[in-house]
Structure 1
Amino acid sequence: MPTSHLDPLRKEIEQLPITPPPAPWQLKARFTVAGLLEVGFDRDSELLLIASSSGRSVIDCRSGERVARDRTDNLGSDRHLETRGIGPLQERIIRMAGINGGGLPVATADGWMIEDITLVWPAQHLLLVEPGSWLHGARYHRPAVFHKLAVELEVRAFGFSYSGLSLVIASGGEVVVFGRC
């Protein structure tokens, strides 16, 4: 197999241990969610809507608490990957990301970025890249600084809230939320 200039990066990602994100990030919530379908952030708050085969929930990502729950059969988004919220999001239309597609923001205004790297299918390495870094090469002659947050087989969504203050990893059966002030 021919060598590539990306081989050292692949090896570094593979050997890097899974760790929590660095300060100022903190674990806010970890929920087991059977039949997770999709998630979506409100554009104007840190509220996260979760849709699963058993209903929908709203999580306040600042506190990590569930603030609303329903068990209706209106589970997921429409063909535009949007759905009406519940509880404090009842009057809002939320863009969703998950099993049917869509996506969450992959960078923050102050330079944090995420990368979803598949080294050997189906394992997806979920990385948080620090401001001023770039995973695929040194920016401004600095080495890339990144953290492996997880290795998942069924990523539904991975990304930031619109403010960049929350970060979610939604896999086949779990939602993990990190936040910062």
Structure 2
Amino acid sequence: MSSRHLDPLRQTIQHQPVTAPPAPWTQTARVTVAGLLEVGFDRDSELLLIASSSGRSVLDCQRGEKVARDRTDNLGSDRYLDAHGIGPLSGRVIRMAGISGGGLPLATADGWMVEDIILAWPEQHLLLVQPGSWLHGERYGRPAVFHKLGVELEVRAFGFSYSGLSLVLATAGEVLVWGRKLPV
């Protein structure tokens, strides 16, 4: 089956420049993490557990601050992709996404979505699609509106916190976080 009907979309994605997300999103953190394995959001906050080859840490995604660090040999999740929290997440089980699988939420309740598109392996084009838009053509008479946040080779996780207020892009060596406030 031919997929030539997708060629215009592929060309659009290929030629779209990498940009920061639009308002209301602002970058809250950019953290270098050597040997990043996986990340996971707490279900009740904007705290992100990060597991790497050198230990674990907790990042407050709204403030962009590391709030806990653990350099033990406990490197990440179990076979169910669950990890035990540290610091402010102590006593909590966090569902992880990364090198062993899993995933973060791909959409928010108010319609923001992320797409991970591979046009020519191994490059992954990471897109943020605006509410009311659909990447694969017009929806409700409106063309797709999206922003290319990056082109990466080793994406560990890409998605939202459970509240939809934080967006994370985790690669083999870095975590980028954008946050927003909901309108009152």
Normalising by structure 2, what TM-score?
0.97
Give 2:167's aligned amino acid: L
1:4 — aligned with what?
4
Partner of 2:158: 158
What's the CA shift string for 1:57-85, capped at 9, x where partnerless? Answer: 10000100000001010011001000110
Partner of 1:130: 130
Give 3-state SS (helix, strand or coil) of 1:110's partner: coil
How many angstroms does 1:3 deviate by? 6.7
**1:1-181, aligned counterparts within 5 Å?**
4-181=4-181
* 1:29-88, Cα deviation, whole Å (9 max, x unpaired): 001100000000000000000000001010000100000001010011001000110000
Distance 1:128 1:22 in 2: 9
Give the 3-state SS of the residue equivalent to 2:140 in structure 1.
coil
Distance (whole Å) between structure 2 residues aligned to residue 136 and residue 111 of structure 1? 15
Residues of 2 paired with 1:8 and 1:36: CA distance?
35
> Could you tell me how far apart the structure 2 residues matched to 1:76 and 1:91 are?
15
Letter in 1 for 2:74: N
Aligned amino acid, residue 94 of structure 1: I
RMSD of equivalent CA atoms: 0.8
Could you say what secondary structure the match of 2:74 adopts?
coil
Structure 1, unaligned runs of 5 or more: none
Letter in 1 for 2:29: A
Identity %: 77
| In structure 2, C-alpha distance between the alignment counterparts of 1:60 and 1:30, rounded to whole Å | 12
Aligned partner of residue 144 in structure 1, secondary structure? coil
**Matched letter for residue 23 of structure 2:** A
Q: Which runs of 4+ in 1 moved over 4 A?
A: none
Q: TM-score, normalised by structure 1?
A: 0.98
